[in-house]
Amino acid sequence: MKLQNSINTASSHIKEADALVISTGAGMGVDSGLPDFRGNEGFWNEYPPIKKLGISFSEMANPQWFYSKPKLAWAFYGHRLNLYRSTEPHKGYQILLDIAKRKKGEYFAFTSNVDGHFQKAGYDEKKVVECHGSINHFQCTEPCSDDIWNAKKEIVDIDMTVFEALDPIPKCKNCDKLARPNVLMFGDWHWISSRTQRQTERFKKWLFEMGDKKIVIIEIGAGTAVPTVRYESESILNSNNAHLVRINPRDSHTSPGQTSITLNGLEGIKRITEKL
């Protein structure tokens, strides 16, 4: 009964909203079939060769490997790139987009996911913030310049028996040294943030233009381990005329005046929007 009351409350707020902010973490991709790297066992289940090396996700998601073991680094990121390319975003993306496009102020999406699935699902690329960058864009490892380029023509083949990328591995289009994804990694001092900064500037401008219009933040699958998305949701809540709907089966804690939906992303989206 408590869950149904929360669903009804969320649905009512969304119906009355002038605009939506759709903020997402890794949990948004799970219903598309993407892996959840929660804990070492979850990560190692997806990458048994890395389990043999005893490397955790936070250790593997580190730029040092592009210098010490570039073929291992590109096996990991190349596999993820190929997986994200071959996976279709689940129906929840389209459900929210259809609702958001009917709002006077439309929408903005804010995500820590690097998979590019908002754009793949038809969202306007000028209305998406990828706060940790995009695996679909590359940069130089040095970096020799501030260039970031679209990787749609880049191909990464992997020998899964030894978990190494096959030659040729991606190279910088300017200096021919090793390239890397334009993704913010752990302990990363060489990530070029200019693309994300431009996205953020558009987002802040949009929020300012919304003024006192009613915004509903629909936050999906954003955990507490790396709380960037949750911080952003709560920042908007505190500075705008906004209401937060947090959809999360585990980390669903909210403050008074916010709405918690203890469901997975796709089910939560369907339940709160089925009457709209």
pLDDT tens-place string over residues 37-88: 776 777 888 898 899 889 999 999 999 999 999 999 999 999 999 999 999 9
| Residue that has been written with the tokens 């390319």 in this structure | 85
Rounded Cα distance, 139 and 207, in Å: 30
Summarised one tens digit per residue, pLDDT across range 99-134 is 999 999 999 999 999 999 999 999 999 999 999 999
> What is residue 116's predicted lDDT score, i.e. its pLDDT?
98
Q: Are 227 and 29 in contact (CB under 8 A)?
A: no
- The whole-number pLDDT of residue 238 equals 85
Residues 124 and 204 in one domain: yes
| DSSP secondary structure, 221-240, as one string | S--SSSTHHHHHHHHHHHHS
Coil vs helix vs strand at 7? helix
Domain end residue (candidates: 117, 149, 183): 183
Asked if pLDDT for residue 149 goes beyond 90, the answer is yes
Mark whether 78 and 102 lie in a shared domain.
no
pTM: 0.96
Q: What percent of the chain has pLDDT over 70?
A: 99
Q: Which tokens sit at 130?
A: 């990828």
Query: In angstroms, rounded to a whole number, what is the distance separating the alpha carbons of residues 63 and 184?
Result: 9
Q: Which domain holds residue 165?
A: 35-86+137-183
* 131-139 mean pLDDT: 98
Q: What is the mean pLDDT of the chain?
A: 94
- Residue 44 or 158, more confident: 158
Chain segment 178-190, per-residue pLDDT in tens: 999 999 999 999 9
What is the distance between the alpha carbons of residues 242 and 221, in angstroms, rounded to a whole number? 19
Q: What percent of the chain has pLDDT over 90?
A: 86
Q: Which two tokens stand for residue 176?
A: 């021919």
Q: Which helix (H) or strand (E) holds 209?
A: helix 194-210
User: Into how many domains does the chain fold?
Assistant: 2
CATH code, domain carrying 250 = 3.40.50.1220
Q: Are both 276 and 221 inside the same structural domain?
A: yes
Q: How confident is the model at residue 1 (pLDDT cuts 50, 70, 90)?
A: low
In total, the chain counts a number of residues equal to 276
Same domain as 269, residue 232: yes
Residue 65 placed within a domain: yes
Q: What is the pLDDT of residue 41?
A: 78
Same domain as 142, residue 26:
no
Q: Which two tokens stand for residue 225?
A: 């381990």
Report yes or no on 5 lying in a domain: yes
State yes or no: pLDDT of 252 exceeds 70. Answer: yes
Do 218 and 260 belong together in one domain? yes
